């Protein structure tokens, strides 16, 4: 073990350094109440439920009655974190998200180590950790697709080595992360198969490759159309609605894609309604892909196949927040672009250009990732570690709420109050026994500020008791 550490000392130091940056971003945001009910609160509530051997009933739904969250997103991977809930509480998922990102980076590094020499594997590791998609995801809570994306380098590494058992194990874990991971895995397997077909290297086990492809498609179909509806009988959360401009269901959406490829191509660059101001989000994504090394996928086109469902998932959506570089919707680009960069440099005829190219894209990826500094990413600024909120008073006051009580809370308070059977997001009070609201200093979503203040006063008037109130926090007993 010591010999292994010595052999990879530089890479380990790089990993530790970036691990500190990632932790300062994610964990400090959570402590400073810059994490939210959507999505950390949802999944921490699920973690609490699984840790107590209960199903994850989605009480934070904005409409309808609560139902099993597996009917919204099929992410059993959350349950595997449950034992650690008792050690890390509301920080559990965030800690493991950081660890998985570092783990994914190590997979990229080993992939590079087997194909490149000198300092290039270490540079590739830095390149991967410089990707905008990682920072956008860390700045916005916890997401199951981040875990899946960080397992992809290991899947490809083991697949290329011909290690079937470990390939299958990682493949299975990725499928457990989220239902749409199966479609991505089908594209990844297809890309790997075409790579070896075109290179005619004789390394391909076609029965194994085809089996993984068929399992991916079959798994998605079974989970999406048979299993998830059993947990969501009223169809209260249908993500296909994000693609309503293409059709009302899977068949009509696929028909639109196949029958009008010109329109699909235009949607890669334009807003469905032609709004130029919104279309810039798509331009921004394409720009970030290029300056972050996406050009490597052009030289290694099987990686473009792997990115196809990610582009489709983002660009064909009717929601502008999916199109750009914010939130967790870009995390899948990071491992694919990094691995494409490895193979491009590996096959580059002018070997003396490899290090300069790697340094160039590290520089551009880093520069455009940090300029301008985006929301919740200011780890190198004092403002990241300070807030106008009196955090000590807020945390002490929240302890006044009984742990077994049902609670309705402001969006930023939900992750810190989710360790109970029933947690709701204001203004969905339902049968909550207590209401906890941040009066200022944080976004009031899902309400506009004026509406939030009005609803807060209505809640105060109907409450039986004001448990606590100061400049920032109001706790009511109903």
Distance CA 41, CA 38 (A): 6
Q: What is the pLDDT of residues 403-415, one digit of tens each?
A: 999 999 999 999 9
Binning pLDDT at 50, 70 and 90, where does residue 275 land?
Answer: confident
Task: Say if CB 108 and CB 153 are below 8 A apart.
Answer: yes
Q: Is the pLDDT of residue 204 over 90?
A: no
Distance CA 203, CA 185 (A): 20
Place of tokens 């990686």: 303
Place of tokens 């099929």: 74
pLDDT score of 250: 78
Mean pLDDT of 4-27: 96
Q: What is the pLDDT of residues 24-58, one digit of tens each?
A: 999 999 999 999 999 999 999 999 999 999 999 99
Q: What is the pLDDT of residues 121-158, one digit of tens each?
A: 999 999 999 999 999 999 999 999 999 999 999 999 99
Q: What is the pLDDT of residues 325-363, one digit of tens each?
A: 988 899 999 999 999 999 999 999 999 999 999 999 999
- Residue of 201 and 247 predicted with greater confidence: 247
pLDDT score of 58: 96
Among 24-28, 224-228, 256-260, the minimum mean pLDDT is found in 256-260
Q: What is the pLDDT of residues 232-257, one digit of tens each?
A: 987 777 777 788 788 877 788 888 88
Handedness of CA 254, 259, 261, 263 (dihedral sign): negative
pLDDT score of 74: 97
Residues 6 or more apart whose CB falls under 8 angstroms from that of 138 comprise 22, 25, 26, 97, 98, 101
Averaged pLDDT of the chain = 95
Binning pLDDT at 50, 70 and 90, where does residue 374 land?
Answer: confident
Mean pLDDT of 78-88: 98
pLDDT score of 5: 85
Q: What is the pTM of this model?
A: 0.96
Binning pLDDT at 50, 70 and 90, where does residue 389 land?
Answer: very high
């Amino acid at each position: 073990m010591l010999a292994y550490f010595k052999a990879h000392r530089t890479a380990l130091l790089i990993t530790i350094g970036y691990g500190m940056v990632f932790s300062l971003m994610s964990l400090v945001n959570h402590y400073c109440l810059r994490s939210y009910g959507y999505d950390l609160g949802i999944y921490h509530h699920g973690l609490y439920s699984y840790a107590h051997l209960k199903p994850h009933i989605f009480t934070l739904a904005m409409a309808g009655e609560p139902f099993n969250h597996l009917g919204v997103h099929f992410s059993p991977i959350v349950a595997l974190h449950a034992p650690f809930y008792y050690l890390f509480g509301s920080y559990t998922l965030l800690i493991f998200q950081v660890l998985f990102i570092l783990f994914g980076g190590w997979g990229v590094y080993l992939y590079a180590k087997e194909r490149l020499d000198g300092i290039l594997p270490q540079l590739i590791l830095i390149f991967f950790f410089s990707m905008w998609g990682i920072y956008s995801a860390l700045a916005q809570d916890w997401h199951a697709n981040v875990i899946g994306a960080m397992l992809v380098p290991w899947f490809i590494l083991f697949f290329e080595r011909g290690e079937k058992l470990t390939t299958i194990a990682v493949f299975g874990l990725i499928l457990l992360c989220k239902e749409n991971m199966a479609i991505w895995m089908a594209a990844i397997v297809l890309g790997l198969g075409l790579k070896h077909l075109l290179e005619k290297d004789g390394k391909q086990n076609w029965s194994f490759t085809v089996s993984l492809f068929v399992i991916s498609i079959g798994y998605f179909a079974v989970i999406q159309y048979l299993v998830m509806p059993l947990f969501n009988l009223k169809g209260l959360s249908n993500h296909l609605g994000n693609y309503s401009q293409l059709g009302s269901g899977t068949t009509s959406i696929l028909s639109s894609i196949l029958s009008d490829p010109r329109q699909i191509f235009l949607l890669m660059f334009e807003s469905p309604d032609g709004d130029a101001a919104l279309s810039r989000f798509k331009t921004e994504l394409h720009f970030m892909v290029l300056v972050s090394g996406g050009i490597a996928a052009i030289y290694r086109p099987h990686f473009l196949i792997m990115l196809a469902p990610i582009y489709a998932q983002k660009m064909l959506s009717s929601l502008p927040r999916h199109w750009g570089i914010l939130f967790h919707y870009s995390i899948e680009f990071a491992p694919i672009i990094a691995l494409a960069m490895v193979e491009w440099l590996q096959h580059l005829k002018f070997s003396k250009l490899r290090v300069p190219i790697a340094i160039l894209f590290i520089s551009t990826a880093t520069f455009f990732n940090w300029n301008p500094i985006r929301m919740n990413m200011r780890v190198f600024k004092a403002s990241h570690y300070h807030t106008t909120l009196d955090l000590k008073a807020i945390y002490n006051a929240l302890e006044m709420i009984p742990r077994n009580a049902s609670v309705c809370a402001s969006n930023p308070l939900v992750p810190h109050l989710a360790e109970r059977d029933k947690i709701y997001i204001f203004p969905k009070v339902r049968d909550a026994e207590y209401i906890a609201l941040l009066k200022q200093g944080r976004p009031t979503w899902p309400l506009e500020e004026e509406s939030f203040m009005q609803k807060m006063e209505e809640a105060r008037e109907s409450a039986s008791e004001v448990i606590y109130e100061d400049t920032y926090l109001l706790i009511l007993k109903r």
